[in-house]
Structure 1
Amino acid sequence: MAVQQNKVSKSRRNNRRAHDALVAANPNECSNCGELRRPHHVCPSCGHYDDKEIVAQADEIDLDEDAA
């Protein structure tokens, strides 16, 4: 079990915790549809990334009823 050798002062404790704060998200605008999306991620509304369609949307997929 870890036991401290000396008391950690409030200043040292707070300096250690200085980098623990959460950073707010910085969304970018999708170049295809204009919706906000996370940087370096596929757009959740249109499925495009870097001006290419990566994920086909459900309404665009032609589902064959006989195949199921």
Structure 2
Amino acid sequence: MAVPKRRTSHAKQGHRRSHHAVKPLQSQYCQNCSGVVQPHRICLNCGYFQGRIVVAEQEETGK
């Protein structure tokens, strides 16, 4: 098994980890209800995706 001959410096660690930062989530607005939606996903409020209904709203049954 390979063993490093020298300790990795802080600068070298930083260069390697430069792409590990957490990026913010992208968001768009639904064309139907103007709710905030992630791109390429169904709207959780109304069930629309690209101008058509994909998930029909369920009726709540009361007891």
Return the TM-score normalized by structure 1: 0.76
The CA deviation at 1:2 is 6.1
Q: Find the counterpart in structure 2 of residue 57 from structure 1.
A: 57
2: CA distance, partners of 1:2 / 1:52: 57
Q: Please give the alpha-carbon distance, in whole angstroms, between the structure 1 residues aligned to 2:2 and 2:17.
A: 19
TM-score with structure 2 setting the length? 0.81
Cα offset, 1:25, TM superposition: 1.2
* C-alpha RMSD of matched pairs (Å): 2.1
Q: Greater RCO between the two (CA within 8 Å, min separation 6)?
A: 2
1:3 maps to which residue? 3
Give the distance between the partners of 1:51 and 1:2, measured in 2 at CA. Answer: 56
Q: CA deviation at 1:5?
A: 2.9
For 1:53, the aligned partner's letter is: I
Aligned counterpart, 2:14? 14
- % identical equivalent positions: 30
Gaps of 5+ in 1: 64-68
Gaps of 5+ in 2: none
